Chains A and B, each alone.
Chain A
């Protein structure tokens, strides 16, 4: 049983398109995140949600909009995709007891 699942795994799309990435966790964690990992493998936080409420919104273009319909889901919608959006996007949930993150397997987004 996958603890944090993201779909799709790969996403190739043209500039200007709108796309969504879905994330679901079955761990019962209250906190979920979206991270962007660039080509140098640096993990940069984008958003954090606690129990469906946005608590961290780092400096990302407002073309990126997270949505959390319930505490088990955190989706990421991206409008007007640009070449620079190409990266691997990771969803993660967090156990507040020990701060430990459980990551999804990532979505490799390629904008052409």
Chain B
């Protein structure tokens, strides 16, 4: 069974703090995506990483793909209340007919 484990499952921090969310697997992915989902809405794609060791930045969000393409991290600097949401990672396996393997999500709450 291919699994994508996210940690932590839940994180509640004060505005201005930094945080990191992890996504780990024993499988090698051809690409990995991060999504944010807000209540009552569908997940929204934040970034896709495809190359081992790749780092992408989206304002205060930094995404990293592991060298072996089995894991990824999302780091948020100086979190804001608008960052609150459910963060999901999803990996694409080679030859998987484009199907994504989804993590269970990290629920992030940023307190003012």
Contact = CB atoms under 8 A, between A and B. Distances in A.
Given A99-B48, A99-B100, A100-B48, A105 B40 contact: yes
A100 B45 contact: yes
Interface string A56-98: 1000000000000000000000000000000000101010101
Main secondary structure of the interface of A (DSSP, over half): strand
Contacts, number: 54
B97 interface: yes
A42 B90 CA distance: 12
Contacts of A105: 40-42
Q: Give the contact-size bracket for chain B.
A: 20 to 34
A98 B100 contact: no
Nearest to A44: B102
Given A41-B86, A41-B107, A55-B97, A101 B102 contact: no
Nearest to B47: A100
Kindly list the 4 A-B residue pairs having the minimum CB-CB distance in the complex, ordered from nearest: A103-B42, A99-B92, A43-B102, A100-B45
